[in-house]
């Protein structure tokens, strides 16, 4: 899918969790790739399976008797085949992760500086003094004023935005080639959010680092990313470049997400998507989006659409999505439905 040489290639990733009446598929056959230096957004409403996808790729789903299958190729290894020691070496060094709540990721009883140095010492050679110097440089780089002094402080002395900067600094301290950021700014206020996103973007550019940005916010993804992957109910429903997604979205769910984005006046245009994301025990038949889809046809309730090419590096899983020139695209069908005409 990506033009750049892939650094990460995920094929048919499945995460099954144990439910009361058997196994439930929370992630169901996700395939995606990320090119070297590419910034890719993984977007979808709450419960779409974004976090489980990211965690499963890195061997972080701890859900026995749950099960993760598929392949996750990174630098020639299938991460799902590696043992915990090898995975731990890759995580934090070659792949960095940042999560939503920085407070929960920092240990409250250790000073910030010691935590950054300890995390670097796991992966980098060198004397503690050199690592301390490097930690101070990195904290300065991610925008911690008086970094050397602040290294003596404890996490509770940092604001949410500053703590997230520390997490980002820690994440990139070993110059990883891939950063996975799961809702890295959701807990922050809007101004700080923008600063933290700008920081991630500039670090990615400077370090040539690929980024998978997990977010429920298509607006953030559109500002940050080259490409977007849209998930719904455990499946990928559309993927394309940001330009293509905004110019010619092929999936009604993507269109619905876009309709919720604020306009230039800052007001959401159509508010929310009717209905809710289905839970794992009530996955609809056919197309999983059909109960909420404004242009659903009778076959949508029985036939599951496959993810297929609908344009240049553009894939969608919708019965109505067409390649240009293949017949009416979903947009035309949507217009007809809104006008009360047959699609």
Binding site for Mg ion (CB under 5 A): 51
List Cα–Cα distances, 113 to 104, 117, 118, 123, 129, in angstroms.
17, 6, 8, 16, 12
Q: Does 52 bind ligand ATP (CB under 6 A)?
A: yes
Q: Does 290 bind ligand SF4 (CB under 6 A)?
A: yes
Q: Does 48 bind ligand ATP (CB under 6 A)?
A: yes
Q: Does 67 bind ligand ATP (CB under 6 A)?
A: no
Q: Does 235 bind ligand SF4 (CB under 6 A)?
A: no
Q: What phi, psi does 15 have (nearest 5°)?
A: -120, 120
Q: Does 232 bind ligand SF4 (CB under 6 A)?
A: no
Binding mask 244-283 for ligand SF4 (x = CB under 6 A): -------xx-------------------------------
Stretch that binds ligand SF4, among 79-87, 153-161, 169-177, 318-326 (CB under 6 A): 318-326
| Interatomic CA distance for residues 335 and 243, integer angstroms | 21
Q: Does 289 bind ligand SF4 (CB under 6 A)?
A: yes
Q: Does 314 bind ligand SF4 (CB under 6 A)?
A: no
| Interatomic CA distance for residues 130 and 283, integer angstroms | 53
Judged by beta carbon distances under 5 to 8 A according to partner kind, the member of Mg ion, ligand SF4, ligand ATP, none in contact with residue 290 is ligand SF4
DSSP symbols for 218-250: HHHHHHH-SEEEEEETTEEEEEEEHHHHHH---
For ligand ATP, the binding residue among 50, 251, 314, 322 (CB under 6 A) is 50
List Cα–Cα distances, 270 to 71, 222, 256, in angstroms.
39, 18, 9
Q: Give the residue among 98, 61, 95, 65 at the shortest CA–CA distance from 80.
A: 61
Q: To the nearest 10°, the Cα dihedral for 286, 290, 295, 299?
A: 20
Q: Does 339 bind ligand ATP (CB under 6 A)?
A: no
Does the bond joining 235 to the residue before it have cis omega, within 30 degrees of 0? no
Angle between helices 160-172 and 190-207 (to 10 degrees): 10
Judged by beta carbon distances under 5 to 8 A according to partner kind, the member of ligand SF4, ligand ATP, Mg ion, none in contact with residue 49 is ligand ATP
Judged by the rule CB under 6 A, the positions of this chain that interact with ligand SF4 are 251-252, 287, 289-290, 293, 295-297, 300, 305, 318-320
Judged by the rule CB under 6 A, the positions of this chain that interact with ligand ATP are 17, 26, 44, 46-52, 63, 216, 279-280
């Amino acid at each position: 899918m990506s033009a750049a040489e892939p650094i990460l290639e995920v094929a048919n990733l499945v995460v099954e969790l144990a439910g009361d009446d058997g196994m439930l598929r929370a992630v169901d056959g996700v395939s995606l790739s990320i090119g070297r230096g590419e910034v890719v957004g993984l977007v979808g409403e709450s419960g779409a399976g974004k976090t489980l996808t990211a965690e499963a790729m890195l061997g972080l789903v701890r859900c026995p008797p749950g099960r993760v299958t598929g392949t996750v190729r990174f630098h020639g290894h299938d991460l799902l085949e590696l043992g915990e020691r090898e995975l731990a070496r890759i995580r934090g060094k070659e792949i960095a992760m940042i999560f939503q709540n920085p407070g929960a990721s920092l240990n409250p009883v250790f000073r910030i500086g010691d935590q950054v140095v300890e995390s670097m010492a796991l992966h980098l050679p060198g004397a503690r003094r050199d690592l301390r110097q490097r930690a101070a440089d990195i904290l300065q780089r991610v925008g911690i004023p008086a970094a050397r002094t602040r290294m003596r402080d404890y996490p509770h002395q940092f604001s949410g935005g500053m703590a997230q900067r520390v997490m980002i600094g820690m994440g990139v301290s070993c110059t990883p080639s891939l950063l996975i950021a799961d809702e890295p700014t959701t807990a922050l206020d809007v101004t700080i959010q923008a600063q933290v996103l700008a920081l991630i973007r500039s670090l990615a550019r400077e370090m040539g680092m690929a980024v998978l940005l997990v977010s429920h916010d298509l607006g953030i993804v559109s500002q940050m990313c080259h490409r977007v992957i849209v998930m719904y109910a455990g499946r990928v429903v559309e993927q394309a470049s940001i330009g293509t997604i905004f110019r010619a979205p092929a999936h009604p769910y993507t269109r619905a997400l876009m309709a919720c984005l604020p306009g230039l006046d800052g007001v959401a245009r159509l508010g929310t998507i009717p209905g809710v994301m289905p839970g794992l025990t009530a996955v609809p038949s056919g197309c999983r989006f059909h109960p909420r889809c404004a242009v659903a046809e009778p076959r949508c309730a029985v036939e599951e659409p496959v993810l297929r090419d609908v344009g240049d590096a553009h894939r969608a899983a919708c019965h109505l999505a067409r390649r240009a020139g293949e017949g009416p695209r979903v947009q035309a069908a949507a217009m007809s439905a809104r006008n009360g005409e047959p699609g």
